């Protein structure tokens, strides 16, 4: 990966402080008690920031998570000509974007290579500027992660798209037009990309077999607040009446359902009790009853969700990842960390991404009993993991290894912290406030 000068990240997002390279030391054992504020969702805020490109008016996002991905996308948007201003208040970190002057020629290849969500710029920029050259996006190495659905959808809307030498070139000099599009499978990113593009396209777009993730509903809510006419978001058919005049909008980013599920597992694993402030159980979909069956008790409260270990203890369960409302693939690794310490046998089957078991070897280093056959991991719980030196290979693997470290005997050393910082706003610091013994250390 090409290294990007950090000062520019700081210029685009002044709250971003490059942390010294190093590792996380996690001393396992103590039960966690306290309040853990759930941040705005990483996978909601990124498309929301891109959505600000469809209007020349001000878009203000509240409850923005202070994560590395947000800093990288801020820098990308700034280089495209958007102006960004930040404030901190009762609604958390807020970002106001103004995209009155956008130049699609200014896409920064190194920054695009740092995150998958940069592919969302495609729809917004071709619709707004008539042409864009975008390097293939980067992101976690968890599978093939094609973008063919995105490209085919934009072609159906009248864009001419070519892919050469790792660069996507999309052109629509007379703008996009509405189209009937059916996704081969419910892709979150393709649904978001086409939804954003459809708002600027002339006429009606219907996205069939659309993804139903809550982040898409959140995106549609923000676009609707700008004046877009969208129906069906959150179902498998989204209809957009495009080409309407758009205003600005003020929108609060939804709470992060993946952080919610992950920290709920931390409470149960350590036999503590954590109030997940701002969390919503309903966003967890099928994960809520499955985690409950595994011994993660979740009680909704007015200010969030109380998470603790169920009186019967932790038990093995069978998990299959599925598009929403099925069990989220992003919760698969954290759930596996929990199940390594659950009584009995569990299976975890990953159906969304081909290579999302890279945390298994790391969990094994900590004494976990896991066998993998094709896309299924067979887990036999052990009373307790033991500390080891482990490395995170993607955002969710990082969170899983933090959990494993919190439950293990001894002091775990976690490397690859960029992955944790990409996806989470101060996870280590928030766990520290709940009584975890966790600290960053030099390499």
Which residues of the chain form contacts with ligand EPU (CB under 6 A)?
42-43, 46, 116-117, 140, 143-150, 185, 187-190, 211, 329-330, 352-353, 395-396, 423
**Minimum distance between the CB of residue 23 and ligand EPU, rounded to whole angstroms?**
21
Locate tokens 């494993």: which residue?
A: 404
- Measured CA distances, 139 to 73, 114, 188, 195, 402 (Å): 12, 6, 15, 21, 20
**Minimum distance between the CB of residue 395 and ligand EPU, rounded to whole angstroms?**
4
- Measured CA distances, 41 to 14, 48, 213, 382, 394 (Å): 20, 10, 12, 32, 17
DSSP assignment of 111-134 equals HHTT-GGGGGHHHHHHHHHSEEEE
Considering Cα of 424, then 430, then 431, then 437, what sign does the dihedral take?
A: positive
- Which is closer to ligand EPU, CB of 284 or CB of 387? 284
CA angle 49, 241, 126 (to 5 degrees): 50
- Which is closer to ligand EPU, CB of 353 or CB of 357? 353
- Which is closer to ligand EPU, CB of 46 or CB of 402? 46
- Which is closer to ligand EPU, CB of 134 or CB of 314? 134
**Minimum distance between the CB of residue 284 and ligand EPU, rounded to whole angstroms?**
13
**Minimum distance between the CB of residue 3 and ligand EPU, rounded to whole angstroms?**
22
Which run of H or of E encompasses 276?
Answer: strand 273-277
Contact (Cβ atoms closer than 8 angstroms) between residue 370 and residue 340: yes
- Which is closer to ligand EPU, CB of 156 or CB of 382? 156
**Minimum distance between the CB of residue 249 and ligand EPU, rounded to whole angstroms?**
20
- Which is closer to ligand EPU, CB of 140 or CB of 387? 140
Residues 6+ apart with CB under 8 A from 5: none
**Minimum distance between the CB of residue 77 and ligand EPU, rounded to whole angstroms?**
15
- Which is closer to ligand EPU, CB of 42 or CB of 309? 42
Q: What backbone phi and psi angles, to 5 degrees, belong to 437?
A: -100, 95
3-class secondary-structure state, position 415: strand
Q: What is the CA radius of gyration of the chain?
A: 21
- How far is Cα 286 from Cα 342, in angstroms, rounded to an integer? 19
Residues 6+ apart with CB under 8 A from 361: none
**Minimum distance between the CB of residue 136 and ligand EPU, rounded to whole angstroms?**
12
- Which is closer to ligand EPU, CB of 148 or CB of 318? 148
**Minimum distance between the CB of residue 180 and ligand EPU, rounded to whole angstroms?**
18
- How far is Cα 331 from Cα 250, in angstroms, rounded to an integer? 29
- Which is closer to ligand EPU, CB of 1 or CB of 144? 144
**Minimum distance between the CB of residue 262 and ligand EPU, rounded to whole angstroms?**
11
- How far is Cα 293 from Cα 198, in angstroms, rounded to an integer? 41
Contact (Cβ atoms closer than 8 angstroms) between residue 316 and residue 346: yes
């Amino acid at each position: 990966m090409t290294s990007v000068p950090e000062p520019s990240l700081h210029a685009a997002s002044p709250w971003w402080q490059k942390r010294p390279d190093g590792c996380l030391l996690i001393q396992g054992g103590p039960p966690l008690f306290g309040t853990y504020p759930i941040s705005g969702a990483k996978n909601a805020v990124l498309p929301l920031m891109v959505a600000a490109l469809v209007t020349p008016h001000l878009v203000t996002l509240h409850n923005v998570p202070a994560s590395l991905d947000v800093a990288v996308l801020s820098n990308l948007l700034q280089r495209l000509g958007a102006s960004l201003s930040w404030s901190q208040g009762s609604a958390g970190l807020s970002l106001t974007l103004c995209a009155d002057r956008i130049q699609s020629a200014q896409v920064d290849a190194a920054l695009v290579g740092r995150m998958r969500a940069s592919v969302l710029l495609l729809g917004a920029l071709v619709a707004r500027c008539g042409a864009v050259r975008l390097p293939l996006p980067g992101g976690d190495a968890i599978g093939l992660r094609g973008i063919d659905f995105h490209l085919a959808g934009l072609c159906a809307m009248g864009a001419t798209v070519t892919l050469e030498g790792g660069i996507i070139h999309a052109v629509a000099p007379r703008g996009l037009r509405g189209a009937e599009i059916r996704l081969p499978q419910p892709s979150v990113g393709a649904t978001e990309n086409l939804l954003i593009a459809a708002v600027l396209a002339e006429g009606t777009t219907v996205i069939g077999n659309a993804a139903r993730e809550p982040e898409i509903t959140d995106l549609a809510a923000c676009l609707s607040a700008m004046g877009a006419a969208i129906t069906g978001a959150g179902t498998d058919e989204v209809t957009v009446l495009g080409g309407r005049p758009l205003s600005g909008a003020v929108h609060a980013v939804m709470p992060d359902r993946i952080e919610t599920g992950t920290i709920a597992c931390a409470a149960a694993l350590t036999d503590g009790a954590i109030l997940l402030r701002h969390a919503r159980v309903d966003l967890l979909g099928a994960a809520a009853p499955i985690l409950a069956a595994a011994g993660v008790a979740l009680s909704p409260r007015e200010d969030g969700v109380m998470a603790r270990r169920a009186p019967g203890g932790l038990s093995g369960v069978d998990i299959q990842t599925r598009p929403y409302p099925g069990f989220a693939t992003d919760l698969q690794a954290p759930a596996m960390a929990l199940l390594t310490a659950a009584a009995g046998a569990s299976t975890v089957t990953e159906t969304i991404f081909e290579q999302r078991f890279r945390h298994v070897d790391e969990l094994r280093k900590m004494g976990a009993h896991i066998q993998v056959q094709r896309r299924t991991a067979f887990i036999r719980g052990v009373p307790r993991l033991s500390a080891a030196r482990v490395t995170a290979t993607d955002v969710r693997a990082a969170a899983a290894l933090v959990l494993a470290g919190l439950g293990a005997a001894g002091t775990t050393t976690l490397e690859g912290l960029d992955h944790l910082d990409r996806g989470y706003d101060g996870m280590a610091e928030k766990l520290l406030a709940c009584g975890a013994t966790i600290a960053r250390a030099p390499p």
